[in-house]
Amino acid sequence: MATQTTPQPGTPVDEWHDKKRYLWLMGLIPPTAVFLALGLIWGFNQLGWNAVSPVWWWIGPILVYGLLPVLDLFFGPDGQNPPDEVMEQLENDKYYRYCTYIYIPFQLASLVIACYLWTADNLSWLGIDGGLGLVSKIGLALSIGVMGGVGINTAHEMGHKKDSLERWLSKVTLAQTFYGHFYIEHNRGHHVRVATPEDPASARFGESFWHFLPRSVWGSLKSSWHLEKARMDRLGKSTWNIRNDVLNAWLMSIVLFGVLTAVFGPSILPFLILQAVYGFSLLETVNYLEHYGLLRGKTARGRYERCAPAHSWNSDHIVTNIFLYHLQRHSDHHANPTRRYQTLRSMDGAPNLPGGYASMISLAYFPPIWRKVMDHRVLEHYHGDIESVNIQPSKREKILARYGTSAR
């Protein structure tokens, strides 16, 4: 773990400041990336670089798979933890929550612009003859999907809070990706079952991302429905009730997609679906790497031990920290779910990924590379005890035969 610059206890509040205070505004790059792309495309076309300019419709994937990993490597670990003395003041500073609120209008504006671009047949003002080609439309859809995927993380930050406005804004942010049930499952499902075989969002040792993805998507959806059904039953109400938070969150998506389709026509639907699927798949990639192979032990009573820093993979690379509102400080988040992002700390005792989340996302797509990078780290975390690992059931015998005697 990188050395932290946490002051000693008793440090005066006025001697510490958040070096990232204004850098948090960089979190607005994903929802404004399409506007940046428009400027770059116009500029390239004005210079006569028409053959190159369409690459900027892919600005979202370029950011996730190219720029962020390079910047993480260049700038390295964060290294700053807030001291105890400033925690209350930092938590109550509303500037930080406004940094997340402002994501939403830019998100919605970018989505509307994308719908216009998917359907426009005259983009001469951009220096384009006619409308966009299919490849450019797909690139734009994936760029919007990146915005939606990062938006799920923004919704994640707001959805954990007790304030009713923030919880409502969380659902609004999730509407783009049709993933409103995440609001329920993450808070009341994942945080309860994290790092156990029962949690669909905790990846198992030996499980590829491509096996994990459908398991997590379907398992989380089922879990969220069962959780809300149980809540409605306790209230003595029908499951098919507008107070069911799964239904009202999905209704927001239906209204959003319906209005956009009414305005721009049904031709946008394939691209709306593509961006939504890609957006929530980015979230699931992050889910995959956050708890891979980690397992909470059981107490003498047969219950799972309390979630500890050892049950989440952390990374403290500063650039992705800023883009994902300290999501990489995942152990502190599980220990203190309502703690605001600006106060999350990089905790001792947490296993650390070899790179930032942005770098690890790409590795997750290639199972042989992922296992070569991560499997030995899981075993080292458990001192070679394969029995302490959360193992993929279908591969359990094979994995135990391979590591059962040689891993120690």
> Tens digit of pLDDT for each residue in 283-314?
999 999 999 999 999 988 889 999 989 999 99
| Reduced DSSP (H G I as helix, E B as strand, rest coil) percent helix, strand, coil of the chain, to 5 | 65, 0, 35
Please give the helix or strand (H or E) that residue 281 lies within, else none: helix 269-290
How would you write 109-175 as a 3-class SS string? HHHHHHHHHHHCCCCHHHCCCCCCCHHHHHHHHHHHHHHHHHHHHHHHHHHCCCCHHHHHHHHHHHH
- Give residue 382's Cα distance to chain centre: 26
CA distances from 397 to 193, 206, 210, 296, 403 (A): 24, 11, 21, 20, 10
Q: Which residues have C-beta within 8 Å of that of residue 48, sequence separation ≥ 6? A: none
Enter the pTM of the model: 0.92
Asked whether 65 and 362 are in contact (CB, 8 A), the reply is yes
Type and span of the H or E element at 53: none
Q: What is the pLDDT of residue 103?
A: 96
Q: Which residues pair with 304 in a beta bridge?
A: 298
pLDDT at 161: 84
Residues 399, 378: Cα–Cα separation, whole Å: 13
Are the C-beta atoms of 15 and 7 separated by less than 8 Å? yes
Torsion angle (degrees, nearest 10) of CA 14, 16, 20, 22: 10
Please say whether the beta carbons of 159 and 183 come within 8 A.
Answer: yes
Q: Where are the beta strands (DSSP E) in 116-246?
A: none
123 near 117, Cβ under 8 Å? yes
List beta partners, residue 352.
314
Q: Helix H segments across 23-133?
A: 29-46, 59-62, 68-75, 87-92, 94-101, 103-119
- pLDDT value for 4: 45
Q: What confidence score (pLDDT) does residue 349 get?
A: 79
Matching residue, tokens 């947490």: 350
Residues near 120 by beta carbon (within 8 Å), at least 6 away in sequence: 131, 132
Instruction: State residue 278's pLDDT score.
Output: 98
pLDDT of residue 125: 96
Count other C-beta atoms under 10 Å from residue 90's C-beta. Answer: 19
Residues of the chain with pLDDT under 50: 1-11, 406-408
Contacts of 70 (CB under 8 A, 6+ apart): none
Res 134: pLDDT: 97
Q: Residue 9's pLDDT is what?
A: 47
In whole angstroms, give the CA distance from residue 296 to residue 291.
11
Please state, for a pLDDT cut of 70, what percent of the chain lies above it.
96
Both tokens of residue 155? 């919704």
Q: For 234-258, give the DSSP string.
A: HHT--SSSTT-HHHHHHHHHHHHHH
Contact 19, 93 (CB under 8 A): no
Confidence (pLDDT) at 6: 45
The letter for the amino acid at 317 is H
CA proximity to 370, closest of 295, 285, 311, 277? 285
Is the dihedral angle over the CA atoms 192, 196, 199, 204 positive or is it negative? positive
Give residue 333's identity as a one-letter amino acid code.
Answer: H
Q: What are the beta bridge partners of residue 317? A: 77
- Write the Ramachandran bin of 204: left for phi over 0, alpha for psi from -120 to 50, otherwise beta: beta
∠ CA 116-120-121, nearest 5°, is 175
Q: What is the pLDDT of residue 336?
A: 86
pLDDT, one tens digit per residue, over 163-179 is: 889 999 999 999 999 99
Rg (CA), the chain: 22
User: What pLDDT is recorded for position 362?
Assistant: 95
Q: Which two tokens stand for residue 104?
A: 């939403």
Return the pLDDT at 253: 97
Provide the pLDDT for residue 162. Answer: 83
